[in-house]
């Protein structure tokens, strides 16, 4: 009988590929964002509006990981983003090798910004680093303010929360404060920007956040 | 069910190591899984049961998972808590100085075989 001690992180090989992705993006001076959320919280709608606001001043690429159809990819491609769809085959998360493959299909030297729309899921994508500079969480107010406490690991892995669908706050009888408090309880360092991708309210702050982070990277 | 891809990764790591060691039968695999890791141990076990099916290397293997609760410690006042009492903002002094001491583990500790 042989005992073998490994003490190896399960994510080690994914993390190695993620580091390679990050290096590629940095070498090409592309700022990148991994967008996470529950299904339907408004990632694609936020992306559409963002593309409308920032193209052509910026050249933007999008990697679409959100499950089985190409509908989201078509929505963003129509707005002038270089778009690659990852067919996850129903998988619940993107991983670094899938993103590495997608990077091959993008003209990175031409891009200023790359947005990865991860699979809509508050659990599975958490541990899978992709190599993006920042992770951004989209939490829509219709999901309720208890999500941070229920999915702390995901919230703790992201640096910014876009609290979306603020246009619905009056209908729901909720206020933003409740969301801000719940988020701070699981990730006190998380920055919070309230937005409505429908009305455009607050979106300028998000664009400015992107511009600031891109400028820091230069 | 990302536990399937994680378990697949675990078995690949053990397989590579076993080949190097000249091990033909693995008897047990030991892992540590933290409560904050987004990994559900019963789902890992289920994936293990399915993935090792028909695989001679793992035919007699068992999977042992050591679960680690979330443990936090406030670096401002020294407050600490575990499990359901753990919070990420200090409940004693309110400081944003809480460090996660354990709960984020997801490791293949080792295995035994011959
Ligand atoms: N009222 C409202 N609806 C929104 C907003 N943003 C997105 N939606 C709607 O929410 C639904 C899901 O949006 P989508 O962008 O596909 O979400 P995704 O699954 O995260 O990509 C669509 O019907 C959108 O029109 C918003 O700010 N306010
Ligand atoms: Mg979408
Ligand atoms: Zn304290």
Q: What per-residue confidence (pLDDT) applies to A90?
A: 72
Q: Is the pLDDT of residue A17 over 80?
A: yes
Mean pLDDT in residue range A132-158: 95
CA A135 to chain centre: 5
Say how many Å lie between the CA of residue A183 and the centre of ligand 2. 23
pLDDT digits (tens, 9 = 90+) for A34-58: 999 999 999 999 999 999 999 999 9
Say how many Å lie between the CA of residue A165 and the centre of ligand 1. 7
User: What letters, b where the CB count within 10 A reaches 16 and e where it falls short, cover B4-41?
Assistant: bbbbebbbebbeebbeeeebeebbebbbbbbbbbbbeb
CA A5 to chain centre: 36
Share above pLDDT 70 across residues of chain B, in percent, rounded to a whole number? 99
Write out chain B residues lying below 8 Å of A190, CB-based.
Answer: none
Share above pLDDT 90 across residues of chain B, in percent, rounded to a whole number? 93
Say if B81 falls within a structural domain. no
pLDDT digits (tens, 9 = 90+) for B9-58: 999 999 999 999 999 999 999 999 999 988 999 999 999 999 999 899 99
Q: Is the pLDDT of residue B64 over 70?
A: yes
* pLDDT-derived band at B1, boundaries 50, 70, 90: low
Task: Output the domain CATH number for residue B7.
Answer: 3.30.2320.50
| Domains held by chain A: number | 1
Q: What per-residue confidence (pLDDT) applies to A218?
A: 61
What are B's interface residues with A at a Cβ cutoff of 8 A? 1-2, 5-6, 9-10, 13-14, 17-18, 21, 23, 27, 31, 36-39, 87-89, 96, 98, 106-114
User: What is the residue range of B46's domain?
Assistant: 3-69+102-113
Share above pLDDT 70 across residues of chain A, in percent, rounded to a whole number? 98
Mean pLDDT in residue range A126-131: 96
* pLDDT-derived band at A176, boundaries 50, 70, 90: very high
Say if B31 falls within a structural domain. yes
Say if B13 falls within a structural domain. yes
| Domains held by chain B: number | 1
Say if B94 falls within a structural domain. no
Q: Is the pLDDT of residue B92 over 90?
A: yes
Mean pLDDT in residue range A18-37: 97
- Which residue in B10, B14, B88 is closest to A185 by CB distance? B88
Distance CA A99, CA A63 (A): 8
Mean pLDDT in residue range A63-88: 84
Distance from CA of A218 to the nearest CA of B (A): 30
User: What is the residue range of A137's domain?
Assistant: 2-217
What are A's interface residues with B at a Cβ cutoff of 8 A? 1-14, 91-93, 95, 123-128, 152-154, 156, 184-189
Task: Output the domain CATH number for residue A21.
Answer: 3.40.50.300
Say if B28 falls within a structural domain. yes
List the beta bridge partners of residue A138.
A37, A162
Which position has the token pair 């003209």? A107
Q: Is A118 in the pocket of ligand 1 (CB under 6 A)?
A: no
Please, what is the average pLDDT of chain A?
Answer: 94
* pLDDT-derived band at A68, boundaries 50, 70, 90: low
- Which residue in A14, A153, A185 is closest to B38 by CB distance? A153
């Amino acid at each position: 009988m042989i005992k073998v001690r490994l003490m190896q992180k399960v994510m080690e090989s994914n993390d190695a590929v993620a580091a390679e992705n990050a290096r590629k993006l940095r070498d090409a001076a592309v700022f990148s964002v991994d967008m996470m959320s529950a299904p339907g919280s408004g990632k694609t709608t936020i992306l559409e509006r963002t593309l409308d606001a920032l193209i052509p001043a910026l050249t933007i690429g999008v990697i679409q990981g959100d499950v089985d159809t190409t509908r989201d990819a078509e929505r963003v491609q129509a707005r002038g983003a270089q778009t690659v769809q990852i067919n996850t085959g129903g998988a619940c998360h993107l991983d670094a090798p899938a993103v590495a493959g997608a990077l091959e299909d993008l003209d990175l030297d031409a891009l200023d910004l790359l947005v990865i729309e991860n699979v809509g899921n508050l659990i599975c994508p958490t541990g899978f680093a992709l190599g993006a500079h920042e992770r951004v969480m989209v939490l829509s107010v219709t999901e309720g303010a208890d999500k941070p406490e229920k999915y702390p690991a995901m919230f703790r892995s992201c640096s910014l929360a876009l609290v979306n669908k603020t246009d619905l706050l009056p209908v729901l009888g909720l206020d933003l404060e409740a969301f801000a408090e719940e988020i701070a309880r699981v990730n006190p360092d998380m920055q919070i920007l309230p937005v409505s991708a429908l009305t455009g309210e607050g979106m300028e702050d998000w664009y400015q956040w992107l511009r600031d982070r891109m400028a820091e990277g230069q | 069910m990302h536990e399937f891809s994680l378990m697949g990764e675990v078995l690949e790591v053990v397989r590579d190591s076993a080949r190097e060691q000249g091990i033909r039968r693995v008897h047990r695999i030991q892992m540590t899984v933290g409560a904050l890791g987004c990994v559900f141990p019963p789902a890992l076990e289920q994936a293990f049961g399915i993935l090792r099916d028909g695989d001679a290397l793992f035919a007699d293997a068992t999977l042992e998972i050591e679960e680690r609760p979330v443990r936090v410690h406030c670096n401002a006042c020294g407050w600490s808590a575990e499990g359901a009492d753990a919070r990420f903002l200090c409940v004693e002094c309110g400081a944003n100085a809480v460090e996660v001491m354990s709960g984020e583990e997801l490791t293949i500790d080792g295995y035994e075989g011959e």
